[in-house]
Amino acid sequence: MRKYVVDPAEMWWPGCMVIVSLFRALHEKDADGKSSRGKFFLVVLACSFIWYIVPGFLFPTLSNISLLCLFYPKSVIAHQIGSGMKGLGILSFTFDWSVVASYLGSPLVCPLFAIVNVIVGYVFVVYIMIPISYWGFDIYNAKTFPILSSHLFNAQGQKYDIHRIVNNKFELDQVAYGKQGRINISTFFALTYGLNFAAVVATLTQVGLFNGKEIISRFRASNKSRKSDDIHTKLMKKYPDIPGWWFHGMLVVSLVLSLILCIVWVDQVQLPWWGLILAAAIALIFTLPISIITATTNMTPGLNVMTEYIIGLIIPGRPIANVCFKTFGYISMAQAVSFLADFKLGHYMKIPPRSMFIVQVLYYIN
């Protein structure tokens, strides 16, 4: 996997560049012998810390200021349109950087084309699709529920009591569910779930169209030296590479332990052994394309919705199995992407690959 997303220069991992800049600011000195980068970092750190006291503790209102809500405090529609916390956020702004960076991370890290892509998608979904679905067509009685919420609701718009439909075996009680009625979600939540499937398919399409030839060529020349290797890759080749059996051994051990869990304690985890194999296959298929997207845009598409939906269709009514399948299918993929990002950081900082592997394994074990 490293030859596809770590060695190529075009896989530059924007998030790693920030860490590299930080390390250089802390440890390198300029030509005149003065550590001006380090001083600049300390000044920015002190200023950001002092300023955060204002929106974080002294005046939390600065984290989310909505002009429409201030002008029309009793209007429900104004709150739905203008609230930055529970609405569409029109004419809403913030003085808290943690709010800006809370959703997709710091915009200073992502390349411009990725930010523009997110803005276009955000405008289309939030300012076109949601108003049409909510106010225009009132799809599935959307107006009965909040326009933006992650909670579950009953048919009357009240919060759904999950505890009443789960029995003592942590399984869905069909009789109780029939009495309480079906679960409803907000318009924003429903569209987010639906568009997540489109994002997963778009990830495969994007990587196939723009990176397919490079992946095939690197696969064919996996054991050959490439003249197109950048300076970082050439320097890293001076270190002994990580034996393949290190990765394979870790994979086998993890799978064996997980299989034991699913076979011996199947009543507790509710996930059969074949569910584990399916989850591992999903993680294996999507690790490469999602790593490529992350390495070039600093945006990481998630498999959380897809894994929940797949196992929910196959094994309905078992929430613990759903969580376990999501862990093996999505979290393992996310950990693999993080693993590769750390390798790229070591690639930039010229850290021996074997040392990086050992430190990473010890970190994830702890």
Going from N- to C-terminal start, the domains of the chain cover 2-52+145-150+186-365, 59-100
Instruction: Indicate if the pLDDT at residue 213 is higher than 80.
Output: yes
pLDDT digits (tens, 9 = 90+) for 102-155: 777 788 899 999 999 999 999 999 999 999 999 999 999 999 999 999 899 999
- CA dist 98 to 66, 360, 366, Å? 17, 28, 28
Q: What is the DSSP letter of 312?
A: H
Instruction: Indicate if the pLDDT at residue 88 is higher than 60.
Output: yes
> Contact 334/300 with Cβ under 8 angstroms?
yes
CA angle 339, 343, 348 (to 5 degrees): 150
Contacts of 241 (CB under 8 A, 6+ apart): 353
% of the chain surpassing 70 pLDDT? 96
The mean per-residue pLDDT over the stretch 10-20 comes to 92
CA angle 206, 208, 214 (to 5 degrees): 115
Residue 166, beta-bridge partner list? 172
pLDDT digits (tens, 9 = 90+) for 111-124: 999 999 999 999 99
Residue 184, beta-bridge partner list? 153
Question: For the chain, what is the radius of gyration of the CA atoms?
Answer: 24
How high is the mean pLDDT of the chain? 90
Helix (H, G, I), strand (E, B) or coil at 153: strand
Helix (H, G, I), strand (E, B) or coil at 149: coil
What one-letter code names the amino acid at 140?
Answer: Y
State residue 39's pLDDT score.
Answer: 84
Strand ranges in the chain using DSSP code E only, listed in sequence order: 65-66, 92-93
Instruction: List the one residue out of 94, 69, 96 whose CA is nearest residue 83.
Output: 69
Run of H or E including 297: helix 273-297
Where do runs of H (alpha helix) occur along the chain? Answer: 2-5, 14-27, 36-53, 67-71, 76-82, 97-100, 112-124, 130-131, 174-180, 187-220, 231-236, 244-264, 266-269, 273-297, 304-314, 319-326, 332-349, 353-365
Residue 93, beta-bridge partner list? 65
Which pLDDT band, with edges at 50, 70 and 90, does 219 fall under? Answer: confident
The mean per-residue pLDDT over the stretch 244-266 comes to 94
Which pLDDT band, with edges at 50, 70 and 90, does 227 fall under? Answer: low
Distance CA 321, CA 268 (A): 9
Contacts of 295 (CB under 8 A, 6+ apart): 5, 11, 12, 13, 340, 341, 344
Write down the pTM of the prediction.
0.90
% of the chain surpassing 90 pLDDT? 68
The mean per-residue pLDDT over the stretch 338-364 comes to 92
Instruction: List the one residue out of 184, 183, 178 whose CA is nearest residue 144.
Output: 184
Run of H or E including 307: helix 304-314
State residue 33's pLDDT score.
Answer: 58
Highest mean pLDDT: which range of 49-63, 213-227, 331-345: 331-345
